[in-house]
Amino acid sequence: MSQAQSFDASIPVLTEVLKAEPLREDLLPGELAASAARATPAQQAAQLEADAVDEWSEAEWAMMEHRLSVRIMHQLQSRVDFVLEQRIKDSMAEVLSHALHDLTNEIRIGLHDTIEKIVARAVSQELTHLQAQKK
């Protein structure tokens, strides 16, 4: 399957997820959280990048990677769950509609056959009864 066929516009790409929300303080390690509260989102991003490049240890990078991964997975999972649920509902609605139509037809045919047999038996019994009265 090609990339164009499987692309779903309702699922954001990673850059859209990261641009959609400003940096949150709970994602920032150590002292950066206090200074981030006073700056605009653009300033926060610039300061975070400068500090990260200059001062962050491997542990801080690992912590940032873990927190971002968890946050992005949570956001994507909720969107995937919603899209999957909608597609399942749509598919089930179509399947149930066909099944209901088929079941209605089967019941109609069965009821028609049953009524036909009941009427034929009643007519036969009535004719037998009338013939017995003639004798």
Domain coordinates of the chain in residue numbers?
Answer: 3-134
Q: What does 120-132 look like in DSSP terms, one character per residue?
A: HHHHHHHHHHHHH
The residue-averaged pLDDT of 82-99 equals 91
* Residue 125 clears pLDDT 90, i.e. is over it: yes
Instruction: Provide the pLDDT for residue 34.
Output: 57
What counts of helices (H) and strands (E) characterise the chain? 5, 0
Residue in the block written with tokens 């034929």: 120
Return the CA Rg of the chain. Answer: 35
Q: Which of 4-13, 47-56, 66-75 has the least mean pLDDT?
A: 4-13
The residue-averaged pLDDT of 85-95 equals 90
Where helices occur in 37-57 by DSSP H, the ranges are 41-55
Q: pLDDT band at 2, cuts 50/70/90? A: very low
pLDDT in tens, 94-108: 899 999 999 999 999
The residue-averaged pLDDT of 25-35 equals 55
First to last CA, the chain: 82
In eight-state DSSP terms, residue 89 is H
The residue-averaged pLDDT of 103-127 equals 95
**CB-side neighbour CA atoms (13 Å) of 127:** 6
Helix pair 41-55, 58-134: axis angle to 10 deg = 120
* Residue 35 clears pLDDT 60, i.e. is over it: no
Say which residue, 39 or 4, is predicted with more confidence: 39
Average pLDDT, whole number, for the chain? Answer: 79
